[in-house]
Structure formats: C-alpha cells, structure tokens
C-alpha cells in the first residue's frame, strides 16, 4: 500500500543534558573526552513518536530507520534507538576532527536527503534541535533540499481516516499552537511536549543487538567534510555573581529598590 | 562598531584605491554590504520585535532593506519605512504568505535575495524565523548562523551553545550570510521619521502541499514574555496549577510583569507551554526576573541568566538558583510570595 509510512529518524550523540559542559584549555571546543554522552533528548522523542505511530497501526508503518552521523561511539545511541523500537539503523561514520569540529547541519541535511531518497522514506522525524549546538536547522534544511512539506516543533502528530496520504501536526509557536495539514512525504521536528519517551527494557535491549546496523561513510553520499563556519573561539560565559541572600520580604524589596529593579 | 569597520576596511583594501579618503572608502564598502531584514507580521499587525533585525543590520553597516510579505501589508510596510536608516522596504502582497509557511515563503524569499544581491539576511530567532530561515539557507546552499547575540564584523558572529554554557565566536565563509538573532540582544529599531521607499518584490507563487488549519493562542493582556521588562516565574515548588494561578498572577500584576514558568511547571500542567523559559522555551533578559519555587537547572538558567537583576524565593538555600540570584530569599514561597505581593501593592 502506497500510504504506508517509511520513517527515517536521525539521532545525534551529544553530551548528556545533565552534564555541565567545560570549555577546553585551548578555547577551541567543549571538552568531550571522558564526559557522559547520550542520545539528544529531542531525538528520543522522535524515536518514540515513530514507534507510537507503528503502535497506532493506521496508517501502517513499514519501516523505522534510525540514522546517526558521527564517531564510532554513535553505535551506542543507534542501539538505544533500536531497543526503543527502530527496525534497523545506519551509521555514517565521521571521526571528530580537532580543527573541523563536527559536521554542520547543512552537510547533515545533504546526507539525510540522499538517505531519504534511497530508502524511499515518506516521513522524516527529527528533534527540533540538538542540545549541544542549539542550531535548530537540520530538519528545515532537509525539507528545503527535498522540497517536502515541514512541520517543526510538533507537539501532536495525528492521522485522520478520511485524509489518506495527509498528516496533521500541531506545532508550538510563539504564544500558543497552530495546526497544519501536510501531504506526505513530510518532515516533522519534535518538541519536548510531543511525548514521554519509553525506557528500553532489557529484553528489547537484547533484541536490538540482533537488529541490523549498516555502516557508511560520507563519500557514499557524495558529501564532503568541508565546513562553512570557522570556529574562532569558544569561551565560558561571564560568570554571574550571586548577590547573596536577604533575611525577609522587606529585605528583598529594599534590595530590589537599591538595584533599581522596582 | 569599531571592530566592524576595521574588518570592512581590511576586506575592501584589496579592491579599492588606497589613495581615496577614509570617508569615500567607507561609502564604497557600505555599498558592498547589503542587508535584508525580514519583518514579521501577524493578522495585519507588524511585529515590532522583528525590527530587531534592523538594529542588527545597523551594526553591520551597509545598506538596509526591509522585507514584508502577506495580504494587505502596505500599511505595515509604510510603518516600517519610518525606521531610521532603512533605504527600502520590499513588499510582496499575497495572502498565501500570511501564515509564514516556509514551503512557499522560503523559495519566494530566495528569488528576492538573488534579485537584490543581498549579502546578509537577518531574521529574529522566533518561531517564524526558526521555521523559515534554515529552509531558505538550504535553498541558497548556505550554512546559517543561528541565534546570534553579537556581531563582531560582517562575517564574524557570537552565539551561545550548550544551553548558554559556552559562547562561540564563529566566522562564516559563505558568500551570503544568513543569520537569526536573539531578540533580547538587539533592541527593536524605533519607528521614527525615516522615509524608505516601498518596492514590489518578486512573487514566484510557489505551489505548496501544506495547509494551515487553525491556531490556538494563549490570550493574555500581560506584557509579552520575550520582551517584558519584568518577569515573574514559577516552578515545581508551586505544587499545583491552583497554587500557581493563585500566587503568580497577583505578584506579576503588582509588578506589571509577564508570567513565565520552568519546564517542570509546564510539564506538570501548572502553566501553558508558551510560558516556558529556558533552553527549549523562551529566552528572556528582563530588568527583573523574579522566580519562586525554581531550583535553577542549567536548562532553565540558559533562558534567563542574562536578566539584569535576578531575584528568587526558594526554601532550599542550596538550590543552584541562589548562585546566580542578586537577591535570594530562603523561605516558604506559600508565605513569602503573598507577603511580597501585598507589600509591593502598597
């Protein structure tokens, strides 16, 4: 059936959200060695969204492919994605480079375009942003490259029986929400409110070890590592001085007046 | 500004006669630099905050053109034309751009950019700008620079990364610079007595497969959270929606403040998602950020630590919020907030 969904879910391995990042001594990047990494929180939501669509059953979900671009250790987040319910995964191995940093969103989008076309996907669900670079670009760029519709910052994904081949997405916008109806194929980026990702159970983690993970390089997709942006410097933000505590409400009002805040 | 000029001069030196006066040199250079500031509109109203893009354009130097698209946008364009230093407003009059859907807005914008030979394209890092600009960047094969807080020179920008825990200075090598700006870092340009001309833009009227159905905006007569000069924010410590609604709005009213919330408060259903302050919500930088029952997780601090004065009420004196607060009160918010509200009213 032509209306069955084949979903691509790109996931990124990032420094764990609870870790306070430290700038390296040379002020060229964030220190990543020996730091806890995990799947970008928005990408967990994307995987969960894809798996819930399958559980919903209508339209049928034929394939959920998780993909990650990055160093060897990205295979960990792909295993997690498969343990959560992705059918298979693709790892485009790109080792980190001191001078280049990581691949830029535009290059990532170019790889994803190739994959979406080759794998014949009709939906790509991405996180709205990665919590390291905070760019919020990849999904929109991919939609532009493919010429597909886009619904960013989704808080609800819905299908209606009578609207075959269409998806309804409610988006978080400034001041509230808006709802779009998009014709498949479609790019969706996920907001935190979309769902609560499941924990992978031990049996599912074991099963995920048997699922297929294919290995690729950038050259397979005709994309090079060239960067358009050069990092000049990475610095710690200026520290804020905690101004100490006051005893009571009157003290608070007096201090706020003194600081000219009220 | 000085750094910006220096870089412009360095850039231009190879191209122009060094015998000319500094003034002439600068004027030639400024012609090389041509910025398009994307202005937002909603329901026939110009979003004044999007005039921040004009402020950023001023810092770049060079010529400034405004851009506005939608139905009946002429009056808004005329309003924006009064901003000092804007040379022209490009207007695309067509109702299919009213909802800012990037599927047709981005290709239309790309056509206008190619036609106008712009070197810099600036929009706010708002829901509209975030949705639109990367799609535009991909169409033009440009790596966008998101959410910048500072312009160092025509190609070098400063932006926070890792939820504001690091500050990145980055240089773009793209021929066209596509930038979104953090609204709190660039005050909106004021509507004064400028007199930019209006010009009709190109409208390819690209067909699209996405349809806008409806919206549900949180109605509020309070100041807009992202731009308010004072913000009162509540967190998980408020324990319930009832307590949030009972304690936070009166305090906000007493101060004339906007209302914000932590992610924990939003997730627990105490407050609407659009009020969330933090890495994944809104960035605010008011004169006063007063919060109660918020511990100060890094994701929350990312959204408010540029506030001028931070005040907090929390019963846990070791909460990380106290490390950034200028005024901290350790105590039970259920007592202290009503007391503070009463005393502020007097």
pLDDT at A95: 84
Looking only at the bridges linking them, the beta strands covering A123-127 and A186-190 are parallel
C-alpha–C-alpha distance, residues A106 and A78, integer Å: 22
Residue whose tokens read 């030979």: B117
Q: What gap in Å lies between CA A82 and CA A92, rounded to an integer? A: 16
pLDDT tops 80 at residue B36: yes
| Average pLDDT of every residue of chain B | 91
Region at B278 (left for phi over 0; alpha for psi -120 to 50; beta for the rest): left
Backbone angles phi, psi at B135, to 5 degrees: -65, -45
Beta strands A149-158 and B120-124, pairing class: unpaired
Residues in B 274-333 with any Cβ partner in A closer than 8 A: 274, 279-280, 287-288, 298-299, 305, 308-311, 313, 317, 322-331
Q: Which domains does chain B have, with CATH numbers?
A: 27-200 (3.40.50.620), 230-345 (3.40.50.1220)
Alpha carbons within 13 angstroms on the beta-carbon side of residue B212 total 15
Token pair listed for A142: 């991919």
What is the fold, at CATH topology level, of the domain defined by A5-258? Rossmann fold (3.40.50)
How do strand A166-173 and strand A176-183 relate by DSSP bridges? antiparallel
Distance from the Cα of residue B336 to its chain's centroid: 33
Mean pLDDT of B164-185: 96
Residue B152 makes CB contacts below 8 A (sequence gap 6+) with B3, B4, B7, B158, B169
What pLDDT score does A242 carry? 79
Task: Report CA-CA distances (Å) from A20 to A15, A190, B175.
Answer: 9, 24, 35
Find the CB nearest B218 among A150, A175, A178: A175
**B142, A189 contact by CB (below 8 A):** no
Which residue is associated with the tokens 């929180």? A41
Residue B1 predicted with pLDDT over 60: no
pLDDT at A12: 98
B17: confidence class by pLDDT, cuts 50, 70, 90: very low
Residue B230 and residue B286: Cα distance in Å, rounded?
Answer: 5
Q: Which residue has the tokens 């375009």?
A: A113
pLDDT at position A187 is 98
Q: How far is CA B318 from the centre of its chain?
A: 33
- Per-residue pLDDT, averaged over A127-150, amounts to 97
| CB-based contact, B138 to chain A, within 8 Å | yes
ipTM value of the model?
0.96
- Judged by phi (left if over 0) then psi (alpha if -120 to 50, else beta), residue A244 lies in left
Residues β-bridged to residue B74: none
Residue B188 φ then ψ, to 5°: -60, 140
Q: Does B135 touch chain A (CB under 8 A)?
A: yes
Nearest CB among A181, A192, A237 relative to B167 is that of: A237
Reported confidence tier of residue A239, pLDDT bands at 50, 70, 90 = confident
Task: Indicate if the alpha-carbon torsion angle A94, A99, A102, A105 is positive or negative.
Answer: negative
Give the pLDDT mean for B262-270.
95
Closest residue in A to B155 (Cα) is: A229
Tell me how far apart the alpha carbons of residues A69 and A10 are, in angstroms, rounded to a whole number: 8
Alpha helices (H) in chain A, listed in sequence order:
41-56, 74-84, 105-118, 138-146, 202-208, 249-258
Q: Per 3-state DSSP, what percentage of chain A is helix, strand, and coil (rounded to 5)?
A: 30, 30, 40
Of B156, B218, B322, the CB nearest to A242: B322
Q: Could B327 and A262 be called an inter-chain contact, meaning their C-beta atoms sit closer than 8 Å?
A: no
Distance CA B208, CA B157 (A): 34
Percent of chain B whose predicted confidence (pLDDT) is above 70: 91
Structure letter (DSSP) for residue A83: H
Residue B287: list chain A partners with CB under 8 A.
260-261
- Positive or negative CA dihedral for B97, B274, B57, B142? negative
- Do the beta carbons of residue A180 and residue B212 sit within 8 Å? yes
Distance CA B118, CA A60 (A): 46
How many Cα atoms occupy the beta-carbon half-sphere of B37 within 13 Å? Answer: 35
B-chain CB neighbours of A190 within 8 Å are none
pLDDT of residue A227: 92
**A132 or B25: which carries more pLDDT confidence?**
A132
Name the closest residue on chain B to residue A247, using Cα atoms.
B329
d(CA A198, CA B206): 40
Q: What number is the average pLDDT over the span B266-289?
A: 93
Give B-chain residues touching A44 at CB under 8 angstroms. Answer: none
Instruction: State the best of B288, B296, B311 to mutate against chain A, taking most chain A CBs within 10 Å.
Output: B311
Largest CA distance in chain A: 70
Q: Which of residues 111-130 of B touch A (CB under 8 A)?
A: 125-128, 130
**Residue B202 banded pLDDT, cuts 50, 70, 90:** very high
Instruction: Give alpha helix (H) positions in chain B.
Output: 2-13, 22-32, 52-60, 74-80, 102-116, 127-139, 241-255, 263-267, 298-304, 333-345
Q: Give domain limits for chain A.
A: 5-258
DSSP A18: T
The answer to whether the CB of B31 falls within 8 A of the CB of B59 is no
Annotated binding site of B for FAD: 236, 262-263, 276-280, 293-300, 314
The burial of A218, by beta-carbon neighbours within 10 Å (0-12 exposed, 13-18 middle, 19 or more buried), is given as middle
Strand duo B166-172 + A229-235: pairing: antiparallel
pLDDT at site B13: 42
């Amino acid at each position: 059936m032509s209306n069955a969904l084949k979903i691509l879910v790109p996931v990124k391995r990032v420094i764990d959200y609870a870790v306070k990042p430290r700038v390296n001594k040379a002020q060229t990047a964030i220190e990543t060695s020996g730091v806890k990494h995990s799947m970008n929180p928005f990408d967990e939501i994307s995987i969960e969204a894809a798996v819930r669509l399958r559980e919903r059953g209508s339209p049928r979900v034929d394939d959920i492919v998780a993909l990650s671009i990055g160093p060897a250790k990205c295979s960990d987040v792909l295993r997690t994605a498969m343990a959560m319910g992705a059918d298979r995964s693709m790892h485009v191995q790109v080792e980190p480079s001191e001078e280049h940093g990581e691949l830029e969103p535009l290059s990532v989008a170019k790889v994803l375009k190739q994959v979406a076309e080759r794998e014949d996907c009709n939906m790509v669900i991405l996180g709205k942003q990665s919590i390291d670079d905070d760019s919020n670009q990849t999904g929109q760029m991919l939609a532009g490259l493919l010429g597909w519709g886009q619904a960013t910052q989704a808080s609800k994904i819905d299908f209606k029986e009578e609207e075959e081949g269409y998806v309804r997405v409610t988006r978080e916008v400034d001041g509230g929400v808006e709802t779009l109806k998009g014709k498949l194929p479609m790019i969706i980026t996920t907001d935190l409110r979309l769902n609560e990702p499941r924990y992978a159970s031990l049996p599912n983690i074991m099963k995920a070890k048997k699922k297929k993970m294919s290995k690729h390089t950038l050259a397979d997709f005709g994309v090079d590592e060239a960067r358009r942006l050069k990092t000049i410097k990475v610095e710690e933000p200026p520290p804020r001085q905690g101004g100490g505590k006051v005893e009571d409400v009157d003290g608070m009002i007096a201090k706020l007046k003194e600081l000219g805040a009220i | 500004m000085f750094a910006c000029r220096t870089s412009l001069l360095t850039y231009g030196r190879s191209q122009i006669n060094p015998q000319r006066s500094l003034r002439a040199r600068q004027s030639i250079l400024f012609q090389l630099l041509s910025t398009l500031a994307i202005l937002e509109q909603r329901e026939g109203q110009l979003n004044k905050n999007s005039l921040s893009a004009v402020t950023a354009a001023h810092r770049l130097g060079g010529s400034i053109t405004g851009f506005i698209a939608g139905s009946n946008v002429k009056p808004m364009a005329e309003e924006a034309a009064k901003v000092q230093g804007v040379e022209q407003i490009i207007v695309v009059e067509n109702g299919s751009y009213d909802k800012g859907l990037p599927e047709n807005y981005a290709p239309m914008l790309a056509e206008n950019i190619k036609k106008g030979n712009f070197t810099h394209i600036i929009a706010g890092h708002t829901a509209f700008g975030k949705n639109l600009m990367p799609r535009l960047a991909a169409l033009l094969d440009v790596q966008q620079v998101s959410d910048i807080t500072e312009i160092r020179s025509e190609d070098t920008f400063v932006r926070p990364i890792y939820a504001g825990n690091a500050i990145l200075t980055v240089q773009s090598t793209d021929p066209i610079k596509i930038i979104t700006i953090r609204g709190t870092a660039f005050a909106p340009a004021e509507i004064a007595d400028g007199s930019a001309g209006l010009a009709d833009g190109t409208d390819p009227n690209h067909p699209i497969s996405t349809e806008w159905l409806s919206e549900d905006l949180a109605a509020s007569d309070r100041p807009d959270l992202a731009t308010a000069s004072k913000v009162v924010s509540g967190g998980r410590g408020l324990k319930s929606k009832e307590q949030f609604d009972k304690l936070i709005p009166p305090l906000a009213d007493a101060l004339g403040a906007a209302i914000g919330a932590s992610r924990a408060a939003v997730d627990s259903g105490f407050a609407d998602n659009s009020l969330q302050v933090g890495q994944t919500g809104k960035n605010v930088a008011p004169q006063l950020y007063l919060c109660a029952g918020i511990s100060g997780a890094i994701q929350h601090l990312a959204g408010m630590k540029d506030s001028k004065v931070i005040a907090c009420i929390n019963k846990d004196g070791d909460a990380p919020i106290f490390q950034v607060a200028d005024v901290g009160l350790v105590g039970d918010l259920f007592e202290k907030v009503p007391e503070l509200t009463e005393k502020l009213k007097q």
